[in-house]
Amino acid sequence: MTWKKFAEQPRVAELLAASLRNDRLAHAYLFAGPRGSGKMRMALHLAKSLFCTENKGDACGACLQCRRIDAGNHSDVHIITPDGASIKIDQIRALQKEMAMRSVESFYKVYIIEHIDKMTVQAANSLLKFLEEPPSGVIAILLTENSHALLSTILSRCQLVSFSPLPPDWIADKLRAEGIAEGMAKAASQITTYLDEARALSQSEWFAQLRNIMIQLIQDIKMPNSTVLFTIQDFWQKNDRLKEELPLFLDLLILWLRDILYVQVGRLAYLINSDQQDVLQGQALAWTKAELLHAMEVVMDTKNRIERNASPQLALERLVLQIQEG
Ligand SMILES: [Zn+2]
């Protein structure tokens, strides 16, 4: 792994690599971005780049220093995560003690704090003093998914580095390269920006099954004398998980409706369910554009209802009837 290979966050990687090259590292960084955007991986890479014996200004990932950092037992790299629900003052005190000790092996000491927004007030105040007068050679990397929840005094003492959510195309390509079928890879990449989660989804039998149920439902909805309500009842009986997974089901449904629209306007390159092109093409003839837009609205509305604790079963039946009424 090198700076150049951070394909998911190239801008951040380039920024940090340049700071190292020009010897202009900040004392404290705040890595802010959504879950799964690679903040910890980047923080560890920055740490490795300071200690790696093989790759100056970068990390080889294979030397003893790199491996010790990856394994979490490097004496000059400390990682703090919330102890239970919060980061407590004792953790910050212990960290300061550790950082005050001169390193025997190198000039640098690095500490990484995950979920920095979860500090107690006392812990935050204690850290703040530490950020104001950093011992030389000490580099702080603070991670958060929620920089808005941070004290402005902490924000103002760090260099803010923003991480973007992973682009769906990037996730889909990655999954495809791992051998996951195109349709599944694309659908999962639209549902979560978290690579591990997308991988787990696209590999699970349940996800494939949920997608099949969705395709069946949307097919039945447009049938004359539709028996779709019976079909739903059948689904409920056979699939216990459908109730809890209904939000996921609705996400898949939205993607599908959008795909029908794409087929209608000839934008086949945009299809998420590209492995189902034949089915989509058939359905494109059965829906008008207005009906599709209405259906998408109904699905969004159903999502909101479920978030507000509506009964999943009733919400889905209502959705079917509203879509059929057009
Ligand atoms: Zn190395």
* Continuous H helices in 33-120: 39-51, 64-70, 89-100
H-state helical runs in 63-109? 64-70, 89-100
Element at 164 (helix H, strand E): none
Amino acid identity of residue 137, one-letter, is: G
Per-position pLDDT tens, the chain of length 326? 789 888 789 999 999 999 999 999 999 999 999 888 899 999 999 999 999 999 888 999 999 999 999 999 999 999 999 999 999 999 999 999 988 887 666 789 999 999 999 999 999 999 998 899 888 899 999 999 988 888 888 899 999 999 998 889 989 999 999 999 999 999 999 998 888 889 999 999 889 989 998 998 898 888 877 778 887 888 788 777 788 889 999 999 999 999 999 999 999 999 999 999 999 999 999 999 999 999 999 999 999 999 898 888 889 989 999 998 87
Choosing among 3.40.50.300, 3.40.718.10, 3.40.50.360, 3.30.70.330, the CATH entry for 3-162 is: 3.40.50.300
Q: Are 109 and 76 in contact (CB under 8 A)?
A: yes
- Ligand 1 centroid to 51 CA: how many Å? 7
Distance from the alpha carbon of residue 3 to the mean position of ligand 1, in angstroms: 13
Compute the distance from residue 84 Cα to the ligand 1 centre, in Å: 33
Residue ranges near ligand 1 (ion) with Cβ within 5 Å: 52, 54, 60, 63, 66
pLDDT at 243: 80
Q: How far does the centroid of ligand 1 lie from the alpha carbon of residue 73, in Å?
A: 14
Helical packing angle, 182-191 and 246-264, nearest 10°: 120
Could you state, in order of their start, the residue ranges of all structural domains in the chain?
3-162, 204-325
Pairing state between β 159-162 and 109-113: unpaired
Of the options 2.30.110.10, 1.10.3720.10, 1.10.10.10, 1.20.272.10, the CATH number for the domain spanning 204-325: 1.20.272.10
- 79: Cα within 13 Å, side-chain hemisphere: 16
Measured at the alpha carbon of residue 223, what is the angle toward residues 218 and 229, in degrees to the nearest 5? Answer: 65
Of the candidates 321, 172, 318, 316, the one whose C-alpha atom is nearest the C-alpha of residue 247 is 316
For 5, phi then psi, to 5°, come to -90, 5
